[in-house]
Amino acid sequence: MSKSIRKVLVANRGEIALRVIRACRELGIRTVAVHSTVDEHALHTRFADEAVCIGPGPAPQSYLNIPNLLAAAELSGADAIHPGYGFLSERADFAEIVERCGMTFIGPSAAHMRVMGDKISARATAQRAGVPILPGTGLLSSALQAREEADKIGFPVIIKASAGGGGRGMKIVRDPALLARTLETAQAEAEASFGCGDVYLERYVESPRHVEIQVVADTHGGAMHLLERECSVQRRHQKVVEEAPCAVLSPRLRAEMCEAAVSVAKAIDYHSLGTVEFLLDGDRFYFMEMNTRVQVEHCVTEMITGIDLVQEQIRLATGEPLAHLDREHRPRGHSIECRINAEDPVTFAPRPGTITALHFPGGFGVRIDSHVYQGYKVSPHYDSMLAKIIVHAADRDRAIRRMRRTLEECVIEGISTNLPLHRWLFKQEPFVSGNYDTHFLESAMDPEAVRREADALV
């Protein structure tokens, strides 16, 4: 039975907070923005129907402060909370508390978050669903066990944090003699990042591509895919450029991967938006993880399907079925997204500061998702992403040309950004031809050439 949502508190900031606010407004739902003291003049506070301050700048005192968020929801009369991505979006305890307080959590159940938030249980779920996984282990209890298991798997191996994400707690081991020491480092990093030092091993794939499938599932047993995204342009395991569809998938392989992703969702009776991520090794693919939230790169899927994923996520939270969506999806053209960050374009070190001049590109097939403006102060407290530039065209070649044009038009002054890196990347033959993998950016990047691109922007 469907339930109504009248007012949504958006438990986030930046461009994703704006994205949710816009989706709600089109659905006729009122919104409440929350903000730290340093975000008092942020755009999401201006475009929401109401705004509530929830604490000082540091995220643990504001955007991660669950009691303050719940107080803001009660004060404003919100009957639902949307977590966006990052911050509390995959915290099962937060989802549980929201539901116990009588509000709707716009996302999956806490139980689904726990199953898929733990990478070991997620692997086991995929295996039960008949989805390929890489040879690996359960939770490691000692260096001796790690060595015995690694010998069975075969070197190189990769150590991964069970509660991990974003490349933290992830270490590649090629030399057996270095395994014990690297294991300690990975466990310490995982403990510091996630409050849990649990790690496991997998066989390491040397030259994979990172391909993920968007799934949607309702509370009536319906589940379907909305095609794939290619996310192989990465640095330090962080995505830089995403596109849809993937240029190297055959129709047969696309169908197999999409079917596998839906099988994972059905295996846990999932309901909400979700993304099933795979490593692609030639024509073989392996389950990596499932993200139980809206992804940063959801925009490219929207562009090739014509479906507003955030609105769909809200509808699913009310209990609506998927009956209104077409069951068969074919890519409508090609879409590419560039993440524009306030960072040094070569070292990737964050570069907070004040934007003194700003001009975003426009034109046919261009979309900008951003929360910044001229005079905006980029805070050191939060993620450095300033904007997402998304283009759509009839095919990949034309989408690349459109992105080159938009990158040339974009002006952000007063701070360093990674615009020079993107401008360099879109001239590189391996990327243009589609012949690249997850190591391409870090192995092929020419610092001097990127610096020259930076000089050309001045």
3-class secondary structure, 334: strand
The DSSP line for 280-306 is EETTEEEEEEEE-S--TTHHHHHHHH-
Is there a contact between 194 and 114 (Cβ–Cβ < 8 Å)?
Answer: no
Pairwise CA distance, residues 240 & 232, whole Å: 8
Is there a contact between 10 and 31 (Cβ–Cβ < 8 Å)?
Answer: yes
3-class secondary structure, 390: strand
- Distances in Å between the alpha carbon of 329 and those of 37, 148, 228, 307, 353? 44, 45, 11, 11, 43
Question: Which residue in the list 13, 19, 209, 293 is annotated as catalytic?
Answer: 293
**CA-wise closest residue to 6 among 360, 219, 318:** 318
Written as six digits, the tokens of 174 are: 């090629």
Instruction: Please name the helix (run of DSSP H) or strand (run of DSSP E) that holds residue 113, with its range, or none.
Output: helix 110-117
Q: Is position 293 annotated as part of the catalytic site?
A: yes
The DSSP line for 36-76 is EGGGTT-HHHHHSSEEEEEE-SSGGGTTT-HHHHHHHHHHH
Neighbours of 143 (CB within 10 A): 14
Written as six digits, the tokens of 270 are: 């999932």
Q: Which residues are catalytically annotated?
A: 293
